[in-house]
Structure 1
Amino acid sequence: MPIEIKELHIRVNVTPPASGQTPPAPGGSPGQPERLTGRQRQELIAECVEQVMKILENKKER
């Protein structure tokens, strides 16, 4: 039996980095996406496939 969520509250606290410290930009340069190695890409694809298969299996059970 599905559960219906009528209201969801999300609270987030963001703290700025300490003065003088700047976090490194992903990918090395601003505005550029980070490049993945072949192994990282394969791991990402495998994880995505696994999650999609779980979702499809859950839908089939309903």
Structure 2
Amino acid sequence: MPIEIKELVIRAVAESDEERPAAAAPAPTSAEDRQAIVEAAVKEVLRILREAKER
């Protein structure tokens, strides 16, 4: 039996950058990495929209 999630709650804690050491900063992503992330996100959104349309 499928389960439908009607509400999703996401909580996050933001901290000042001054509190973190500089070595813990993430490495900058390359343009190719960003492009791959965008393509994957678009593909996933289109899949979700297609599934919603089929219902």
| Fold shared by both chains (TM-score > 0.5) | yes
- Which structure carries more relative contact order (alpha carbon 8 Å, separation 6+)? 1
Specify the structure having the higher radius of gyration (Cα). 1
TM interval, shorter chain, is 0.5 to 0.7
Q: How many residues align?
A: 38
- Shift >4 Å, 4+ stretches: none
- Could you tell me the percent identity over the aligned residues? 26
Post-superposition offset of 1:4: 2.6
- Name stretches of at least 5 consecutive residues in structure 2 with no aligned partner: 5-21
Which of the two has greater helix per residue? 2
TM-score normalised over the length of structure 2: 0.56
Gaps of 5+ in 1: 6-27
Q: What's the TM-score, normalizing by structure 1?
A: 0.51
